[in-house]
Structure 1
Amino acid sequence: MGAWFRWTELRIFLEVNMKKLVIAAALTAAASTASAGNLAEPIVEPPVIVEQAESSSSGILLPLLLLVLVGAAVASN
């Protein structure tokens, strides 16, 4: 009868502790979901727009080339 008493005592001990463990886990889960997140607005940084820079000599290159060609044509006559 001693072994049966020990098994019954162990079963009761586990039932009581498992109930406490389940309650503690449920309270922890409820507390963690209640405090998750933030009420402040999220900070969204503006997108970076990359524009291609133009060369400052692009507007003068063609007239200079044309002037050189005209000068070469005049010099050859």
Structure 2
Amino acid sequence: MTKFATFAAALGLTASSALAGGYVEPVVEVEPVVVDAAPAASSNAGLVVPALLLLGVIAAVASDDDDDDSSTTN
């Protein structure tokens, strides 16, 4: 019985010193999220190249000077 009492006393002393400060909730600092907003002008940049290609095709068709008179009979 004395061994049990000695063990219980030793366990009680070590447990109280281990928990002497009590529980402290850890502080977690959250850094703000920075979002880079794209300018509004660059959102339509994907339409510039196809529009220029379309204008080039229209200009090529409009300037087609085919002087072949095989379709007209005079």
Please give the range of the TM-score, normalised by the shorter of the 2 chains.
0.3 to 0.5
TM-score (norm 1): 0.46
- Larger relative helix fraction: 1
TM-score (norm 2): 0.47
